[in-house]
Amino acid sequence: MLTHFPLTAGEHTLSTQISYHSDQNSATGYGLIYQYQLIENFEFEVKYQQSGDLKIISNDKILYGDYSSFSSGINFTKLHHQDLTLKLGLGINLISSSSNNLLVEKDAVAAYFQIAASYQVTNNLSLTFGQSSQFNQNALGTNHSLFFSLNWLFSSGTKSYFKPHTNKGEIQSTSKNTLTTQVIVQPKPDIILQETPGKKRVSTPLWYVQIGAYQDSGNAYQKIRILHDTHSVTFNILLHKEFYRVLSPPFKTKKAAIQHLLHLENSFSIQCFVNKI
């Protein structure tokens, strides 16, 4: 039975954020954010936020105060154009402290909604601008704020390449001590497995266009043959984190990988995504 998981290498993001509430009185708010991309188009987010000084007019009364909160939720992401990613997020916000319980009570829980756009400046640096809405009770009520964040991206994925020692068309099984196996598709629909359980070559993660990931190597080999026979395009198989990943040749930059992805989608209608391994 064919099992397909459109996985990504574990990509983490740490961010610092400044925000401006619709009822901001003076100092802007700030926040710290951690995000983890679980699979393509889906990331988990946790955030600590300090609101800054607020001024709320409620029932002809003016309330001053500030609060801090923790939130967690999920973001749905979509690559819009090369380095620009659009995000839509949903989650729950918990008020951890409040200087004025009439403004908002400590331990109050509320849902939030946010939309944002993130621009990739370098391989590891991106900028995000967005708008967030919280649906609280008390005088704070439904409130909105704009935010800007500076993001640092890094990947937990690791990889190893090994020198070939097999003959053309020969497929050898991997041992338990082998960390990574690479299968290369040649211009002819023959598959060559390259494997040597020797010393791992240390290198920085690279960008790939990934078709999919399979638990069974046979399914990955079958996918490679179909792609070659149908489109005459080159893909590799890389055994990484217990999955046989069908990948393009590596690229040094995300932008180059995205350009190749757009070529595959526009020219061959191949559904794929960019992955850093």
CATH classification at residue 129: 2.40.160.20
Q: Are residues 132 and 202 in the same domain?
A: no
Q: What is the CATH number of the domain that holds 233?
A: 3.30.70.1070
Q: Is residue 165 part of a domain?
A: no
Q: Are residues 29 and 145 in the same domain?
A: yes
Alpha helices in the chain (DSSP H): 217-231, 254-268
pLDDT > 70: percent of the chain: 78
Q: Is residue 176 part of a domain?
A: no
Q: Is residue 69 part of a domain?
A: yes
Residue identified by tokens 């990504």 is: 8
Q: Is residue 168 part of a domain?
A: no
Q: Are residues 187 and 146 in the same domain?
A: no
Domain that holds residue 124: 7-155
Q: Is residue 186 part of a domain?
A: yes
Q: What's the confidence (pLDDT) of residue 182?
A: 44
Mean of all residue pLDDT scores within the chain: 78
Closest CA to 136 of 27, 51, 25: 51
What is the Cα–Cα distance from 182 to 160, expressed in whole angstroms? 9
Q: Are residues 151 and 258 in the same domain?
A: no
Last residue of a domain, one of 136, 155, 174: 155
User: What is the rounded average pLDDT of the residues 125-133?
Assistant: 95
Assess whether pLDDT exceeds 50 at residue 176. Answer: no
Q: Is residue 162 part of a domain?
A: no
What is the Cα–Cα distance from 264 to 268, expressed in whole angstroms? 5
Closest CA to 162 of 179, 143, 148, 149: 179
Last residue of a domain, one of 138, 155, 172: 155
Q: Is residue 238 part of a domain?
A: yes
Radius of gyration of the chain (CA): 24
Compute CA 15 distance to the chain's CA centroid, rounded to the nearest angstrom: 14
Whole-Å CA distances, 95 to 19, 50, 148: 16, 10, 21
Last residue of a domain, one of 155, 170, 200: 155
Q: Are residues 204 and 111 in the same domain?
A: no
Q: Are residues 140 and 202 in the same domain?
A: no
Cβ atoms < 10 Å from Cβ of 234: 14
Residue 197: helix, strand or coil by DSSP?
coil
Strand positions, DSSP E, the chain = 7-21, 29-39, 42-50, 54-58, 61-65, 67-81, 84-98, 109-120, 125-135, 142-155, 182-185, 191-194, 207-214, 236-240, 243-247, 273-276
Q: What's the confidence (pLDDT) of residue 10?
A: 59
Domain count, the chain: 2
Q: Are residues 13 and 144 in the same domain?
A: yes
Confidence of residue 203 (pLDDT cuts 50, 70, 90): low
Closest CA to 88 of 43, 120, 30: 43
**pTM for the structure as a whole:** 0.57
Q: Are residues 116 and 216 in the same domain?
A: no
Q: Are residues 241 and 201 in the same domain?
A: yes
Q: Are residues 32 and 74 in the same domain?
A: yes
Q: Are residues 211 and 132 in the same domain?
A: no
- DSSP conformation class of 91: E
Q: Are residues 99 and 197 in the same domain?
A: no
Q: Is residue 64 part of a domain?
A: yes
Assess whether pLDDT exceeds 60 at residue 189. Answer: no
Confidence of residue 3 (pLDDT cuts 50, 70, 90): very low
Confidence of residue 174 (pLDDT cuts 50, 70, 90): very low
What is the Cα–Cα distance from 64 to 55, expressed in whole angstroms? 5
Q: What's the confidence (pLDDT) of residue 155?
A: 65
Q: What's the confidence (pLDDT) of residue 145?
A: 92
